[in-house]
Amino acid sequence: MGPKQASENKGSEKKKRMMTMAIKHEIIEKHESGVQVIELARQYERSTSTICTILEQKDAIKSTKPSKGLTILSKLSSDIHDEKERLILISIKRETVGGDSVTEMIICGKASRIYDDLKGKKAAERGDFDTSENLQNQTWLAG
């Protein structure tokens, strides 16, 4: 007998599939309406462990208003980040409907200005500093 060869089953490794927050919301809603965990696992082609993890995190998941396509609920994310994403999507939609081209550089610049503006407003609400000096005009939405 010759030496054993290592099997090369690297292609058979399971690839991690992401699940959007919208699907997680659906799972929670269906479970709350009486659908069993095993049935949800079959329907979404996930393990019962995955479904149970989603249900354990349901309070955190339900408290978010995720942007379209969001898959991971980050502890670093805040209301400011959610609002920034929402406003960026509105801005992109306005520009594309108007026939303007939207580049990554334009989006990044707007995202930065939006974030700074929202962060300044949040700080002003808390009374951290003078709003008249630190809040920027909301020209990022117009162009």
Indicate the number of domains in the chain: 2
CA angle 127, 90, 74 (to 5 degrees): 60
Give the pLDDT confidence of 110-124 residue by residue, as tens digits.
Answer: 888 888 888 888 888
Q: For 82, which DSSP code?
A: H
Residues 102 and 55 in one domain: no
Give the pLDDT confidence of 23-60 residue by residue, as tens digits.
Answer: 898 999 999 999 999 999 999 999 999 999 999 998 88
pTM > 0.75: yes or no:
no
Task: Give the pLDDT score at 126.
Answer: 75
Task: Give the pLDDT score at 10.
Answer: 52
Give the rounded percent of residues in the chain with a pLDDT score beyond 90. 22
Report the CATH number that the domain containing residue 26 is assigned in CATH.
Answer: 1.10.10
Whole-number Cα distances in Å, 77 to 18, 51, 60, 70, 74: 18, 23, 12, 11, 5
Q: Within 13 Å of residue 133, how many CA atoms lie on the same side as its CB?
A: 4
Residues 47 and 85 in one domain: no
Instruction: Find the domain containing 114 and state its range.
Output: 79-134
